[in-house]
Structure 1
């Protein structure tokens, strides 16, 4: 087995290729920069440090992207013991990938009120976490410490499977809420000029999620082309960008649902419209994000806080 085949998978990146080194260093630097900026946005935008959305977003950043990025700097530049960088990478990978999925899941209730769908999505996230994380972790340690062709080949196969599986998971969750969001937008009353007032928001949502899908596709292409070092480091940057885009997606979803007064009349019986008090409970965490910071870059101007909505109801 050639050193080129093993390089990056086992131990440090030892090839004298300045372009590759510069590329993965820039990617990891961008991931760390985005993470720091995201932390500032999180603590500047949340009034309440609670809820699944807050904790999944925070942990995906602090225990996900940051340790994942630092671990590859240590591993590829051969800084410190190998077991430490691999362990740090594994922990970061868990929180980054599954944490991102929980971020997507946590705001799904804004447009999906069917508990059956929510339970199935959560079950998918749990099953994928077990089926994809555990075997990959075993093969990661095996390929780095046993160092036989069987372990390395098995790891390369499993790496493709897990990346494909997690990408499909994200496609499903994103596609689900896009479908529901578009359905609600189509049922919104038209303006006096005959145009849907929320059409611009719909295009923004579709553009943001199209970008997310494109980034996942790029990772898959790099993986199947055997650009292991570039793919693993680009992944940290991609997930840091995804988490930042969550703020833009969230505020637009909240504004869209607020501006839509009636749920679609053709929704199935399994779709349960929540009571007004339940809506406040479900949405207050997200509404406060958009209103708590006057300079919040993604907040629509007409987005109301949960407290103001509560005063309207009373």
Structure 2
């Protein structure tokens, strides 16, 4: 029953996220948009694959493993790329950004591929018990590795956002946004810790269905930060009665991070970088 409940939550959130994504992003391009799409779509095969496996809904033993593998890479690596692309919007240190990208690629190849290979070997009808035990241990290790990977990216994001927007104190919109960002990341960390708990406690069936539910919730929380940012932009538009509103902060070599609402009071939002800005800009000092 618990497995069905978590699977239902994950699949429902995918439907909701799909609507939110296309309602929020006016310009459907760029790493941030596509990483959202990939991470969201990956939840479906990951969830469906384990349903097929746990309820023995297919006679082909390798089919659920293959479906889960495709979903796992899209969901887990996609989530990390979402965090990376969000970090890319605020970070000024190009070297640090490259190392984060290298970390994501390294973990996907060096940690992810062996985990999927072991999953295939351990799922065979004639699987060697030693391989099954080794996979059980390795799977716990990879969950911990990806937990720390996302933790590192989230901490860097909070640090870079604080540098960009200023300290979290005060009642200005940017200070409130930073405090909210910190709170959301703390909640995400708490959910990841519960995921680790189910994995290390040996509840494999619960962990594998709880995981996509958690990842879908984390993506929705990511959008909650964007919604806060949209409200700041919309409020600025009402004050100035402008058709197009810009919020920006100067970064490396006259580059700018821009958040744009397409209409005053509208709900569409897109993010981009520019070499120069026109119009009124909110101060981040």
Q: After the TM superposition, which residues 1-314 of structure 1 pair with which residues of structure 2 at under 5 Å, given as runs?
A: 22-62=1-41, 64-80=42-58, 81-145=60-124, 146-186=126-166, 195-252=171-228, 273-275=252-254, 278-279=255-256, 283=258, 287-288=260-261, 294-295=266-267, 312=279
- Contact 2:167/2:175 (CA < 8 Å) preserved in 1? no
- Contact 2:10/2:213 (CA < 8 Å) preserved in 1? yes
Deviations 1:52-94 (A, max 9, x none): 11111101112x1011111111111111122111100000000
SS in 1 for 2:145: helix
Q: Measure, in 2, the Cα distance between the counterparts of 1:155 and 1:292.
A: 54
Q: 1:229 to 1:128 in 2, by over 3 A?
A: same
Deviations 1:93-114 (A, max 9, x none): 0000000000111111222021
Q: Quote the offset at 1:196 in angstroms.
A: 4.6
Q: Which runs of 5+ in 2 are unaligned?
A: 234-245, 281-285
- Of structures 1 and 2, the one scoring higher in RCO (CA 8 A, sep 6+) is 1
- Contact 1:96/1:239 (CA < 8 Å) preserved in 2? yes
Larger fraction in strand = 2
- Contact 1:30/1:237 (CA < 8 Å) preserved in 2? yes
TM-score by length of 2: 0.83
The CA RMSD measured in Å over matched residues stands at 3.0
Q: Quote the offset at 1:207 in angstroms.
A: 1.3
What is the count of residue pairs matched by the alignment? 264
TM-score by length of 1: 0.75
Q: Measure, in 1, the Cα distance between the counterparts of 2:271 and 2:117.
A: 48
Q: 1:103 to 1:212 in 2, by over 3 A?
A: same
Q: Measure, in 2, the Cα distance between the counterparts of 1:251 and 1:132.
A: 34
Q: Quote the offset at 1:163 in angstroms.
A: 0.2
Q: 1:157 to 1:312 in 2, by over 3 A?
A: same
Q: Measure, in 2, the Cα distance between the counterparts of 1:204 and 1:291.
A: 25
- Contact 1:113/1:274 (CA < 8 Å) preserved in 2? no
Q: Measure, in 1, the Cα distance between the counterparts of 2:14 and 2:117.
A: 28
Q: Quote the offset at 1:183 in angstroms.
A: 3.3
Q: Measure, in 2, the Cα distance between the counterparts of 1:310 and 1:197.
A: 20
Q: Measure, in 1, the Cα distance between the counterparts of 2:271 and 2:122.
A: 53
SS in 2 for 1:312: coil
Q: Which runs of 5+ in 1 are unaligned?
A: 1-21, 264-271
